[in-house]
Amino acid sequence: MPTDKSPSDAGRSVADPPAGRSDANRTLTLAAMLFAVSMTFIDQTIVSIAAPRIIDELGLSSSGMQWVVNAYLLALAAFFALGGRLSDILGHRRVMVAGTLLFVLSSVLCGCVPEGDFAQSWLIIFRATQGLGAALMFPAALAVVIAVFPVDKRGRALALFFGISGALTAVGPLLGGWLTGWTWRAIFWVNVPVAVIALVLAAMARIPETRRREKLDVPGAVLIAVGMGLSVLGFQQASAWGWSSVLTWLCIVGGLAVLVVFCRYELRVEEPLIKLRVFRDRAFTVDMLVLFFAMLAFVPVFFFASVYAQVSLSASPNQAALYLLYFFIGFGIASQWGGRILDRRGARPAMKLGTALGAVGFALWANKLTDLSMHDQWPYAALAGAGIGFLLAPASTDAVNRSIGASYGEVTGVTQTVRNYAASVGIAVFGTVLTHVTTDRVVETLTSRGVPEGPAGDAARSVAEAVTGNPDARAPSGDGRIATLMRDSMDAVRLDFAEANQWVFYGMAIALAIAYLCAHRHPGTRVTGEAPTDEPARPGRGAPDGSG
């Protein structure tokens, strides 16, 4: 397809950076893109730390808070490929700036949420628009990096792009804990100065603009958004509707059916939103399966571990952040080893080791949750993090190397969509499990201590929905004896919540065990040739992904 170029650009390959680009300009460009995408990674984890404070101040339900976390991930997954396509058509720099502005405006509005009945809807709506902004910004920023760096320097630039931005996932909990000590609203407002720096650096770098005259696959964009949204809605609302509800299964099955229709449509359309041809390679398909099951645990663990620490362990937001740091220490160390294993022996050994360690780590961690001791859990949290660290970069990098003939954009479009969709499904499914098990456990505890079954059931549902561990605040009015019994049961209720979290963490261990079985199906042969074509024809649809 032709690109919009000035006469001076005629005859230059699209794979080459614009003539006259200095190293200083390229450095400014890379820095600008790093500041921009850093917000998207930090926001995957920063909200988890503040969740109990947000629930308590705004009166949100547990499922409502899960939607606040999930709306961002789901929008990012559903619109990532669309963002890349728009960046191809409208211009990479233009879409990056538009995405950054939408992201930061949504962040400000999230921080300005009013108290009252509309608070939950307000947060969910603007978290979704935050995700849309990230879906526009990230692939466009990637395309800019690919476009301005020559082939011989592009590998190092992309390594920095994904390495630094991915490592910022670990900053989210620490930053969230510190900011929540002041006000939880600051976890959203902190994006404002970061966005300003990104936009100023982008202006100083004088990034060239390129566009391609291509069609936008609107039907494909609608199908993938509807399919993902419906399926996650079914999983998420199963806690309220029940697994026996026709509506629950209508959403789940209907959403998955729409995704099947999307795949069939994409294989037939001339200019698809996502080129599914990359799945013809068995190794690539295995890589995607491993990533899918690993991501069922990787992002959700931040939310569930943070809430567990603050409810069952009575930890402060800062203490909860340090609790998650155990996981990140294992993740960071293993990420380096995983890369070395990939270079020397290929992706299969790294994925097998990572999935095995992850499954064992999450299982042992789950077993220690009921001890209600933060410090006794650190070896198992670190082991679970190490498992994810060993497999994440090798699986993502191998997917890129296997997809011969596809561009960086096409491959990362697939990997990021799979990863974010899996994270959304993980939060929805495990959130439903947590709500059901918490309700059952608290009912047993309260009835065994003399609370009548009816009030015990009402209180248990309130505790499960509020996730505050403060059932006496919602005790049935007019019966002081019941309220007193419930206050006396607080320690037991915290243990009940820990037992409910055990089911979640065992579920994560099972997800990693399934990923281990998938890793065994990998061909195992190493790929040492050139990765996907450097031509940024579809740079918005993906890239090598070693990010965390």
Q: Output the domain CATH number for residue 183.
A: 1.20.1250.20
Q: Are 146 and 290 part of one and the same domain?
A: no
Write down the H helix ranges in 10-150: 23-42, 46-58, 62-90, 92-111, 119-148
Q: Are 48 and 195 part of one and the same domain?
A: yes
Residue 51 lies in a domain: yes
Percent of the chain past pLDDT 70, that is, above it, reads: 81
**pLDDT tens digits, one per residue of 186-226:** 999 999 999 999 999 999 888 877 777 778 889 999 999 99
Residue 406 lies in a domain: yes
Residue 26 lies in a domain: yes
Residue 276 lies in a domain: no
Residue 537 lies in a domain: no
pLDDT for res 19: 44
Q: Are 189 and 323 part of one and the same domain?
A: no
| Cα radius of gyration (the chain) | 23
Strands (E), 117-258: none
Q: Are 241 and 379 part of one and the same domain?
A: no
Q: Are 303 and 200 part of one and the same domain?
A: no
Q: Are 246 and 384 part of one and the same domain?
A: no
Give the count of domains, the chain: 3
Residue 422 lies in a domain: yes
Domain of residue 317 covers 281-523
Q: Are 317 and 234 part of one and the same domain?
A: no
Q: Are 263 and 373 part of one and the same domain?
A: no
pLDDT for res 126: 95
Q: Are 241 and 199 part of one and the same domain?
A: no
Q: Are 180 and 250 part of one and the same domain?
A: no
Residue 197 lies in a domain: yes
Q: How many CB atoms are located within 10 Å of the residue 340 CB?
A: 11
pLDDT for res 484: 54
Residue 377 lies in a domain: yes
Q: Are 237 and 171 part of one and the same domain?
A: no
CB 422 within 8 Å of CB 295: yes
Q: Are 196 and 77 part of one and the same domain?
A: yes
**pLDDT tens digits, one per residue of 145-161:** 878 887 677 667 766 77
Amino acid at 337: W
Spans of the chain below 50 pLDDT: 1-20, 468-480, 482, 486, 528-529, 531, 533-548
